[in-house]
Structure 1
Amino acid sequence: MKLGSISKFAAVGLLALATTGCSSWDSMSHRQKSTVTGAGLGGLAGAVLTGGGVLGTVGGAAIGGVIGNAVAR
């Protein structure tokens, strides 16, 4: 297995762990949950598309959060 594949699996695992392990998840509104989920998925997509680039990851998270927030309206 190549290092890039391992990094992608690790990123997906960390995302899953972060969303399930969030202790305040139950007290969040639907809109907040959608924003967090969108940011996580956007960050993951940005990391994959840019080969783990920081700018792509942060940009993807920001765009994903905005989209998640807008979809939940």
Structure 2
Amino acid sequence: MTKLLDEAFQAARSLPPAMQDDLARVIMAMTGEAPCVIQLTAEEEASFEESFAEAERGDFATDEEIRAIWAKHGL
């Protein structure tokens, strides 16, 4: 095990159990030991469906809208 990975595991030990389990699932998916399955809430699923529908329609943010978001976040 590399030093960096060992440090990451040390840091993960202080996280709540649910976050530790999330990290474990990601690691297992990356190593091929388990599929990467993420449970979405009903609201998240609805948001994705709406986003896909907007993309299908070609309904994307304008350049001005993107610049406004960047400016809002100091980018």
TM bin (shorter chain):
0.3 to 0.5
Superposition TM-score, scaled by structure 1 size: 0.35
Richer in helix (by share): 1
Q: Rg: which structure is higher? A: 2
TM-score by length of 2: 0.35
Bigger relative contact order (CA 8 A; separation at least 6): 1
